[in-house]
């Protein structure tokens, strides 16, 4: 009887696991199918794109004119470089200042620390786009309009609340004994932060980096408002150059989108293990 019960329990567990995997696979297919269509149709002519959008390119529909337009006949490489600079510098500041602020809030008990923590959490609940007019006026007053610096500052301010919140929750669980031992060994607070704390929260850094990069890289709103100049356009704004008033170069648009996806996929591949560890770190308490 006991063996039959165990078999039934194993069968239920197997069915449950099979159902979960089926749902995850279905979701993955739905999420990746648009990317598949974009990449597939970027190697087709206009006739191939509208004639058979889900079909593979053949001798009559295969074309690389879209990539030629993007790489050699436009300023898209400049826009791509602008996005890399803005995203990279903003991520650096978000991770650095976010980790430092979270370390201060979780490590030191000082008057107003609770208020500061709540104030930063409010930044998560209030969309930064509500302050677009005020931000635009501030950027103009600082003579930073049509500069990459304006975008870097705005994206850093946008990403810090979430970064501080995530870092704080993990830094609270870092052993105080380790940090106290470092102090006994004569390490300064800065060395403790960079040499002791940061290596312990690398999975969290990967998590914050990925979640912060995607909205920055894909954003169209602030580049359009703050830096619409030809020399400061980003990838998302640069794609609009292939969309005319009466015609659309669909091959170039799809090729540009295919190229624009590469950095995000590259970052996921690099930080995939650390990302999963960071997301699941608080799931099990032992």
**DSSP tag of 57:** P
> What is the Cα 32 distance to its own chain's centre?
17
**Tokens at residue 190, please?**
């800065």
Looking at residue 286, its pLDDT comes to 41
- DSSP letter for each residue of 177-218: HHHHHHHHTT--HHHIIIIIIHHHTHHHHHHHHHHHHHHHHH
* pLDDT tens sequence for the chain (286 residues): 556 566 555 655 566 677 787 888 898 888 888 888 888 888 988 888 888 888 888 888 888 888 888 888 778 889 999 999 999 999 999 999 999 988 888 877 777 777 877 777 777 788 888 888 999 999 999 999 899 999 999 999 999 988 988 888 888 777 778 887 888 888 888 888 888 888 888 888 888 888 889 899 999 899 999 988 888 999 988 888 887 766 788 888 888 888 888 888 887 777 766 666 655 554 444 4
Contact 200, 174 (CB under 8 A): yes
Q: Do 259 and 253 contact (CB within 8 A), yes or no?
A: no
Q: What is the DSSP letter of 147?
A: S
Residues 6+ apart with CB under 8 A from 99: 163, 167, 171, 193, 197, 198, 201, 205
Say how far apart CA 143 and CA 145 lie, in whole Å. 6
Instruction: Identify the pLDDT of residue 75.
Output: 86
Residue 275: predicted pLDDT: 62
Whether the Cβ atoms of residue 83 and residue 237 lie closer than 8 Å to each other:
no
Q: Cβ distance 251 to 138 under 8 Å?
A: no
**CB 48 within 8 Å of CB 41:** yes
CA atoms within 13 A on the CB side of 112: 3
**3-state secondary structure (DSSP) of residue 29:** helix
Dig out the tokens for 250 from the structure. Answer: 């669909």
Q: Per DSSP, what are the bridge partners of residue 248? A: 243
Cα distance between residue 225 and residue 230, in whole Å: 13
pTM value > 0.85: no
Contact residues for 206 (Cβ-Cβ < 8 A; gap 6+): 271, 274, 275, 277, 278
Using DSSP, state whether 157 is helix, strand or coil: helix
């Amino acid at each position: 009887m006991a063996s039959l019960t165990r078999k039934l329990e194993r069968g239920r567990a197997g069915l449950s696991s099979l159902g979960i995997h089926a749902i995850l696979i279905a979701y993955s297919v739905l999420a990746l199918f648009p990317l598949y269509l974009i990449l597939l149709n970027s190697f087709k002519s206009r006739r191939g794109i509208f004639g058979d959008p889900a079909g593979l390119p053949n001798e009559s529909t295969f074309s690389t004119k879209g990539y030629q337009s993007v790489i050699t006949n436009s300023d898209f490489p400049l826009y791509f470089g602008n996005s890399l600079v803005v995203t990279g510098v903003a991520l650096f500041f978000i991770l650095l200042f976010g980790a430092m602020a979270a370390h201060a809030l979780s490590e030191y008990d000082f008057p107003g620390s609770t208020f500061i923590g709540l104030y930063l959490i409010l930044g998560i609940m209030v969309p930064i786009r509500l302050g677009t007019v005020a931000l635009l006026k501030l950027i103009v007053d600082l003579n930073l309009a049509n500069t990459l610096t304006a975008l870097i500052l705005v994206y850093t301010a946008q990403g810090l609340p979430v970064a501080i919140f995530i870092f704080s929750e993990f830094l609270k669980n870092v052993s105080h004994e380790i940090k106290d031992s470092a102090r006994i060994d004569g390490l300064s607070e800065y060395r403790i932060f960079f040499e002791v704390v940061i290596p312990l929260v690398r999975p969290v850094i990967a998590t914050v980096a990925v979640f912060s990069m995607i909205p920055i890289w894909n954003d169209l709103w602030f580049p359009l408002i703050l830096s619409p100049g030809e020399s400061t356009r980003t990838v998302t704004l640069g794609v609009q150059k292939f969309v005319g008033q009466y015609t659309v170069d669909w091959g170039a648009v799809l090729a540009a989108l295919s190229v624009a996806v590469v950095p995000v996929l590259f970052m996921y591949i690099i930080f995939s293990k650390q990302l999963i560890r960071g997301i699941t770190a608080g799931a099990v308490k032992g």
